[in-house]
């Protein structure tokens, strides 16, 4: 199973992000926009693994260690090459959550990427336009839980399925 841990987004936020992705589609002929049901903020990518129970244990431990729900704020956009994303304003509780999760996953035996945590929400891939203009309003995102997700291709479409949710 291809697994990752994410913060899922409420419908109101997905609607805003869908609008931004539609703006990208108008500016880039080959943009592959994220399906609205797939918008999320990745906290940790686990890759191919069958250790679902260990991932659940790490989620539960991290959620118990977190000091309750918090809010994030959408903040502009950026690029990683041909990938365009919506940004997240600096949020110390988010970085603490990601740090605690990484520690809990490592204690369960997961080997994680070493690159720094850069919170973002992918809007589209294969954006070929040199310059883009997006209107993304500053919007609060309530964070009340973290989710263990499975990523798979179904009938040629990327599908994310929530396997487990831990409340903060």
Q: Which pair of tokens denotes residue 102?
A: 């990484």
Topology annotation, domain 2-167: Cyclic Phosphodiesterase; Chain: A, (3.90.1140)
Q: What is the mean pLDDT of each run of 10 residues along the chain (168 residues)?
A: 96 94 91 94 95 96 90 93 94 95 96 90 92 89 97 90 96
Judge contact between 146 and 62, C-beta under 8 A: yes
Q: How much is the pLDDT for 115?
A: 85
What pLDDT is stored for residue 142 in this prediction?
96
- Quick one: pLDDT at residue 63? 94
Cβ atoms of 100 and 66 within 8 Å: the answer is yes
Domain map (residue ranges) of the chain: 2-167
- β-bridge mates for residue 152, sequence order: 159
């Amino acid at each position: 199973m291809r697994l990752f841990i994410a913060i899922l987004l409420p419908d109101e936020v997905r609607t805003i992000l869908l609008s931004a992705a539609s703006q990208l589609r108008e500016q880039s002929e080959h943009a592959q926009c994220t399906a609205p049901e797939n918008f999320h903020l990745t906290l940790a990518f686990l890759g191919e693994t069958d250790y679902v129970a260990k991932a659940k244990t790490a989620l539960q431990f991290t959620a118990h260690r977190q000091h309750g729900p918090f809010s994030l704020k959408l903040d502009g956009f950026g690029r990683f090459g041909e990938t365009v994303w919506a940004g997240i304003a600096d949020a110390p509780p988010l970085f603490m959550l990601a740090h605690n999760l990484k520690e809990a996953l490592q204690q369960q035996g997961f080997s994680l990427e070493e690159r720094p945590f850069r919170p973002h929400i992918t809007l589209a891939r294969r954006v070929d336009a040199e310059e883009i203009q997006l209107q993304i309003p500053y919007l609060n995102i309530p964070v009340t839980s973290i989710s263990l997700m499975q990523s798979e291709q179904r009938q040629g479409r990327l599908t994310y399925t929530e396997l487990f949710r831990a409340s903060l």
